[in-house]
Structure formats: C-alpha cells, structure tokens
C-alpha cells in the first residue's frame, strides 16, 4: 500500500528529508509532496561553514549532532552526485590574536580529533601563513587550520537534493499551506490527508502547529550577509573559510566571489528587508581585514529568518501523542551543519515509524512543545 508523506518547508531539513525519502529502502512505495513558498527561508539565504569542532558551545548534545552532520556531508554529496560548487572541503581557519588563546584552541582541536576523523589534520599558522593561504586578506591574524572544514552553498544544496528526489517520488508545490484541527494540510486545492507530515518550517513552526493544540517555544531571528566581488586568484580558487576573531566570517567561493556574514538580529524577526546599517557593518568587517574594498564591491545582499529556542538548542522528532506529525526547528545559525542529519533521521522515522531515541542529540520534545490548553 502506498504511503503518502507531506513535507512543509523546503530548507535544509525538508530538502534532505525529501532526498532520503526517495532513496531509503521502502521509498518505492512512498509518494512525497513538499510545500514551500520560499519566503524568508534561512537555507537559501545562507553560505555556510561546516566546521563545528572548535565551537565554544558547552551543549554536548548539540556538538554530537553537529559532528554527525559534518560527518554525513561527504557521503551525502557523493551519493547525491553534487559537485564542488555545492560543497567543498577547503579547510577552515579560526583566528586568535593572543598566543595563549591560540594554544588553547589548538589543544581543543587536538582533543576533538580523537573521535572526529572528518576534521582531517590540525595545524597552527602564523599571520603570514594565513595570508598565504587566503591572499584576499591584507590584515591576517594567526590561527588554527583544520583541513576537513568546508563551505557549502545552501541554495545550491537544497536545489540539488530536491532535483534528485523529483526524479523518483517527490512533487513540489510552491505554495504556503496550513493545518487544521483534524490534521489535514490545507492547500490551494483544498484539504488533503497524509499518512505522515514532516513540519520543517523553521520559525514558522509555531503558527503551523497551533491548530493542533500545540504551542512551540521557538522564535524568529533575522540574518543578513553580503556578497562581494573581489580580486580573483586563479591559482587559489579553493581558499579556506576564515572565522576571524571579533569579525564576521569570510567564505571565499573562488572566481572572485566572497561572502561576509552573517548577522544575528533578534529584533529583525520576520523582516526580510535589507538594512543599510547592517550592510555597512558587514562591509566594515571586510574592510578591517581587506584593503581597497568599498561599497562598490557589494554585488548582493541576502536576508533570511532563522529559528531559535530559549536554550539555543534544536529539537526534532514525532510530536508526543500525535506521532503522525514530525517536527524540526530551533537549528539557528548552525542549520546547514545539523540540518542534513536531522532530515535523514526524520525521513527514516516517517518511513518506518517506531519511537526513536534521539536523546544523544536533544532534550525531550516536551521541553519545546506543550499543549496550548495547559
């Protein structure tokens, strides 16, 4: 008997779930429909850094999830036959000005290498060595270089995964939908019933699950980044990503393209308008590390909406007592790192059912989802 699954939200979680729902055993008996109008999606506005190993976060569940996501990426990119324009292990450089801080960072990297083979090799670089690897920088800082770090183009990743899934069992509907109290998906063509519904709509989860009598403790946050046209270095198209101390992240994509950002604007909420003051702040960060960069170098501004929880931790899985619905939200600024692992887990749960134990990655869902009657 054919199983019908809906996915609401086509960002990193929804797209990865759709891909695995088209490839996992049993997918040949599954029909998947993805709904997304594209408005405000964090993934397509992001150019991400896959390098969670030196994070200052103390949340070990988050770290295990992020590490699993980083480990999954090479396999996912290979299996989906996506190219280096989507994902590239260029390495990442995390800088520190104070020598003792650099030593502490290096020691942490060495410690975490023991159970994170994807990290590759770890070395310290002086400022001149950093500049040699990233000649865009005219004011380089010393740092720790991790060869396994990577950059990913969120929009290209989502597009590639969805294209693969549509070749098998996925239909994409570019529209905004809602749910009713009976759990039906309300579409432009009327109400539709599905066997399972994956709700991967980020900060919009709150309004989607409200008709089910559920309050989701998640809030929106605005993120903005800029694209710059910079000098091209034909012999060095795969420069490492740089995470400079006290500045915005630098994500070189080769061929004279550089991404700088992104911001974390709690007051911005669902506002998708580019803020000139924020653009100027991002440009200022670039100018402090690069010579001769002006506003004329800006070729684009991207704005998206992230989802956050009070403890900055993600949550995902079947809704307690309403297992037909699976949710994911709260991924924040690490969504491109953690999202593929979350999407893969949700796809398996939607296909095979059961009560998965994901406590190694998250707190109980009741931490974030409560009955609105309470």
Counting the structural domains of the chain, the total is 2
Q: Does 37 fall in a domain?
A: yes
Same domain, 143 and 241: yes
Is residue 81 domain-resident? no
- Final residue of a domain: which of 308, 323, 352? 308
Residue 373: the pLDDT is 66
Percent above pLDDT 70 for the chain? 99
Read off the DSSP letter of residue 41: B
Residue 121 lies in a domain: yes
Q: What is the pTM of this model?
A: 0.94
Of 284, 308, 332, the residue at which a domain comes to its end is: 308
**Average pLDDT for 269-281:** 92
Report how far apart the first and last C-alpha atoms of the chain are (Å, whole number): 38
199 has pLDDT over 70 = yes
Give the model confidence (pLDDT) of 50-91 as tens digits. 999 998 888 999 999 999 999 999 999 999 999 998 999 999
Shared-domain flag, residues 141 and 239? yes
In order of 77, 155, 270, 304, the CA distances from 40 in angstroms are 25, 12, 7, 5
> In the chain, pLDDT over 90 holds for what percent of residues?
86
299 and 228 co-located in one domain: yes
Pick the last residue of a domain from 292, 308, 324: 308
- Cα separation, 222 vs 271, whole angstroms: 7
In a domain, 74, yes or no: no
What mean pLDDT value characterizes the chain? 94
Distance of alpha carbon 348 from alpha carbon 184, whole angstroms = 22
| More confident: 237 or 34 | 34
* Residues 146, 230 share a domain: yes
Question: What does residue 282 show for φ and ψ, rounded to 5 degrees?
Answer: -65, -40
Residue 233 shares a structural domain with residue 304: yes
Looking at the structure, tell me whether residues 159 and 213 fall in a common domain: yes
Residue 219 has pLDDT above 60, yes or no: yes
Note whether residue 73 is domain-resident: no
Mean local confidence (pLDDT), 291-296: 94
CATH of the domain at 293: 3.30.9.10
Which CATH number is 350's domain given? 3.50.50.60
Residue 239 in domain: yes
On whether both 240 and 145 belong to a single domain, the answer is yes
Minimal CA–CA distance to 203: which of 63, 306, 84, 75? 306
In a domain, 246, yes or no: yes
Residue 123, pLDDT above cutoff 80: yes
CB-CB contact of 1 with 194 (8 Å): no
> How many Å apart are CA 238 and CA 353, to the nearest integer?
42
Same domain, 242 and 351: no
Query: Is 90 exceeded by the pLDDT of residue 266?
Result: no
CA 69/CA 279 separation, integer angstroms = 30
Residues of the domain holding 190: 3-43+155-219+311-364
266, part of any domain: yes
Q: What is the pLDDT of residue 316?
A: 98
Q: Read off the pLDDT band of 374 (50, 70, 90).
A: low
Say what the pLDDT of residue 372 is: 81
Query: Do 113 and 198 fall within a single domain?
Result: no
Residues 179, 146, single domain; the answer is no
The 10s digit of each residue's pLDDT in 301-335 is 999 999 999 999 999 999 999 999 999 999 999 99
pLDDT, one tens digit per residue, over 144-188 is: 999 999 999 999 999 999 999 999 999 999 999 999 999 999 999
Query: Looking at the structure, do residues 146 and 224 belong to the same domain, yes or no?
Result: yes
Among 202-206, 235-239, 316-320, where is mean pLDDT lowest? Answer: 235-239
302, 174: one domain:
no
């Amino acid at each position: 008997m054919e199983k019908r699954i809906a996915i609401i939200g086509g960002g990193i979680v929804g797209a990865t779930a759709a891909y695995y729902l088209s490839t996992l055993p049993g997918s040949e008996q599954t029909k998947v429909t993805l709904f997304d109008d594209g408005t405000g999606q964090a993934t397509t506005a992001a150019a991400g850094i896959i390098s969670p190993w030196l994070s200052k976060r103390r949340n070990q569940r988050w770290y295990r999830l992020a590490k699993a996501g980083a480990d999954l990426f090479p396999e996912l990119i290979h299996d989906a036959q996506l190219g280096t324009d989507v994902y590239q292990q260029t390495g990442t450089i995390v800088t520190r000005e104070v020598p003792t801080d650099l030593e502490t960072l290096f020691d942490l990297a060495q410690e975490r290498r023991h159970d994170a083979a994807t990290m590759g090799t770890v070395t310290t670089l002086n400022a001149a060595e950093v500049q040699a690897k990233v000649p865009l920088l005219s004011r380089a800082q010393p740092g720790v270089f991790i060869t396994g770090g990577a950059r990913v183009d969120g929009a290209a990743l989502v597009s590639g995964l969805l294209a693969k899934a549509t070749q098998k069992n996925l239909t994409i509907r570019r529209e905004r939908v809602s749910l009713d109290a009976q759990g039906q998906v309300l579409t432009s063509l009327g109400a539709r019933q599905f066997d399972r519904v994956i709700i991967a709509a980020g900060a919009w989860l709150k309004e989607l699950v409200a008709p089910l009598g559920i309050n989701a403790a998640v809030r929106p946050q605005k993120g903005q980044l800029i694209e710059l046209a910079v000098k091209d270095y034909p012999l060095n198209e795969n420069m490492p990503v740089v995470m400079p101390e006290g500045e915005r992240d630098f994500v070189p994509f080769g061929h004279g393209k550089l991404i700088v950002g992104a911001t974390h604007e709690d007051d911005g909420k669902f506002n998708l308008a580019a803020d000139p003051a924020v653009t100027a702040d991002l440009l200022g960060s670039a100018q402090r590390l690069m010579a001769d960069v002006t506003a004329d170098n800006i070729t684009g501004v991207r704005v998206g909406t992230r989802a956050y929880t009070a403890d900055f931790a993600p949550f995902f899985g079947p809704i307690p007592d309403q297992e037909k619905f699976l949710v994911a939200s709260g991924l924040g600024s690490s969504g491109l790192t953690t999202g593929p692992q979350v999407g893969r887990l949700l796809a398996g749960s939607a296909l095979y059912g059961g009560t998965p134990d994901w406590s190694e990655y998250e707190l109980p869902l009741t931490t974030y989802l409560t009955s609105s009657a309470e």
